[in-house]
Amino acid sequence: MDIEGRLAELNITLPAPPSPVGAYVPAVCSGKLVMTSGQLPTRDGELLAAGKVPTDLTVEQAAAAARQAALNALAALAGAAGGLESVARICRVNVYVASAPGFTDQAVVANGASELLVDLLGDAGRHTRCAIGVAALPLNAPVELDIVAELA
């Protein structure tokens, strides 16, 4: 699969791997697996949205934030794997959603990330997933996610 061509078709520019905001690395390779650290919806070092869903932002805005966090995770994967062409498939995505009491549509928010991965990678982007509601996330982000991928 020509990942660079598919990125261009989708009019997506992969960001530079985000810098860690703590004492960790963006991604680690172990055998044929690459695991990312949790990624926030940042662009150029700035958080794109903040707060809890749905009181501070809509489900649609949170899904867009999950999409950006997935792009950041892909950038971390690419950095650790020597490029996205080395990724055989996405195995697992864990999506954490800062949720107001009573909010139960975390899976809808997580679809922002999952749909991007399938659009970009086709069947290799289909993955297992957890969508988890949490009280708060770092920097008041609405979503954080991590990815486990298999290398070719």
Report helix, strand or coil for 113.
helix
Q: What is the pLDDT of residue 42?
A: 95
Using one digit for the tens of pLDDT, what is the confidence trace for 65-94? 999 999 999 999 999 999 999 999 999 999
Report helix, strand or coil for 131.
strand
Q: Which of 90, 82, 91 is nearest to 120 (CA)?
A: 90
Q: What is the pLDDT of residue 96?
A: 98
Continuous H helices in the chain = 3-9, 59-81, 106-121
* Domains and their CATH numbers in the chain: 3-16+32-151 (3.30.1330.40)
Using one digit for the tens of pLDDT, what is the confidence trace for 7-51? 999 999 999 988 887 899 999 999 999 999 999 999 998 999 999
CA distance 66 to 68: 5
CA distance 147 to 73: 7
Q: Which of 137, 140, 138 is nearest to 51 (CA)?
A: 140
Q: What is the pLDDT of residue 18?
A: 81
Confidence class of residue 1 from pLDDT cuts 50, 70 and 90? low
